[in-house]
Amino acid sequence: MSHKIDQLVASIQDQIFKEARETYGDMGFERWRNPLYRGAMKDADGHGCLTGTCGDTMEIFLNFNHETR
């Protein structure tokens, strides 16, 4: 039974990847799969976190250039 479930999951994931690549192109797909910036920023100047009613959470870290003009 586990083998059939694994096959089903792999098939669904392949379809998602195919559709994402068709929608966003090769570069967009690669950015989605391998984001440049991920996780908490060390020494952030600001941080915000919001959890929506659906349960999804978004976190943002800010770092400002402190040069004066």
- Taking only the tens place, the pLDDT of each residue in 6-20 is 999 999 999 999 999
Query: Is the alpha carbon torsion for 38, 10, 54, 28 positive or negative?
Result: positive
Q: pTM for this one? A: 0.54
Contact by Cβ (8 Å): 51, 67 = no
Query: What mean pLDDT value characterizes the chain?
Result: 91
Task: Look up residue 14 and give its two tokens.
Answer: 């392949």
Closest to 64 in 3D by CA, of 39, 48, 45:
45
Positions of E strands within 1-69: 46-51, 57-62
